[in-house]
Amino acid sequence: MKIYESDFETIARKCIAMYGNCEEHHYEHFLNFADKKKKPFFFDFSGYGVLAFKFKDGKTWQVMREILAPKEKRTKIMLDFADYVLNKLKAETLKIELVEDTREDLLKHLQEKKLRALKVNYYLDWPLFDIEKWDDNLHGGDFKNLRNIKNKFYREHKVEFVPHDELGKEELKRIVHDWRKNRKNSNQAKYHEYLHAIDSGFQGFDETRIMIVDGKVRAITAGWKVANSEQYYSSLGIIDYSIDRLSEIANLDDLSYLNSRGYKIVNFGGSEDKLLEFKKKFKPSSMYRTYIFSVKTEK
């Protein structure tokens, strides 16, 4: 095992390209997720990898989702990583987010390293859309309400789209600050991540959509193609809450635009119950769940 505290871009990008297996395996996203409280590290396990964060207090580490390795090797590497930070470095907590089957496999082996898992803190459901079946015209009874919302919105407002580099960064940040005021504390990490994305000029994003409504920036959506898959991850979604029904319009536009760009599956991101109910309006084709929990040493 080799630990990189800096200068890991080349090896991390190569590892993501070869073994990326979820929507958050994305180099710029990894860096944007860091902040004053946590620093990014890359752990090299003989060509496989772990994207990780060390918190400022030194007592907590966090893994950026699944291990960068073939599925059959992920549990062993996660165990070795957990053993290192908790038993060797004497950290108190390792935060992990995993899909159900890899979490269950990890739980079976934690005792081998004298580790234990705490109860699940919370879980997220991730809706997926088979975009090849998406109907831009929203035909049918299931979409009647959305169809009415869309028609009414475009009658009452002037809507246009501009490239992000035609706008000043402060104007784009304004909508992030306004968005933050209307979100709960759980969105603070995304707030900083979004500001980092704007400062970088949306570096690493495959698509960025800036919506102008009645002459003012009102929504930003952006994302990237997931490594080693046919998925597109709609990672960033910010809207102006002062305009009624803009949330539905921004999401409808996202699906239609991505359809025109030839993507096959669109991932609308992990959600807890309230936000998930909103996303269900758009009739996802399927969903999967991730569990957020912590691992500690045995008492």
pLDDT single digits (tens) 83-107? 999 999 999 999 999 999 999 999 9
pLDDT of 164 above 90: yes
Q: Are residues 13 and 149 in the same domain?
A: no
Cross-strand pairs, 271: 125
> Percentage of the chain with pLDDT > 70?
98
On whether residue 194 sits in a domain, the answer given is yes
pLDDT of 183 above 80: no
> Taking all residues of the chain, what is their mean pLDDT, rounded to a whole number?
95
pLDDT of residue 185: 52
pLDDT in tens, 223-248: 999 999 999 999 999 999 889 999 99
Q: Are residues 132 and 185 in the same domain?
A: yes
Cross-strand pairs, 53: 40, 62
pLDDT of 135 above 60: yes
CA-CA distance, 254 to 220, in Å (whole number)? 10
pLDDT of residue 2: 97
pLDDT in tens, 249-284: 999 999 999 999 999 999 999 999 989 999 999 999
On whether residue 298 sits in a domain, the answer given is no
Residue 276 CB burial class (10 angstroms; 0-12, 13-18, ≥19): middle
Asked whether 65 and 270 are in contact (CB, 8 A), the reply is no
For residue 26, give both structure tokens: 């994305």
On whether residue 179 sits in a domain, the answer given is yes
pLDDT of 186 above 80: no
CATH code of the domain in which 111 resides: 3.40.630
CA-CA distance, 251 to 153, in Å (whole number)? 13
pTM, two decimal places: 0.93
> Percentage of the chain with pLDDT > 90?
91
CB-based contacts of 225: which residues, under 8 Å, 6+ apart? Answer: 206, 231, 232, 233, 263
CA-CA distance, 153 to 100, in Å (whole number)? 40
On whether residue 297 sits in a domain, the answer given is no
Please compute the mean of the pLDDT values over residues 151-158 and round it to a whole number. Answer: 97
Q: Are residues 101 and 193 in the same domain?
A: no
CA-CA distance, 58 to 84, in Å (whole number)? 14
pLDDT of 26 above 70: yes
Q: Are residues 153 and 257 in the same domain?
A: yes
pLDDT of 187 above 60: no
Range of the domain at 111: 2-117
The total domain count for the chain is 2
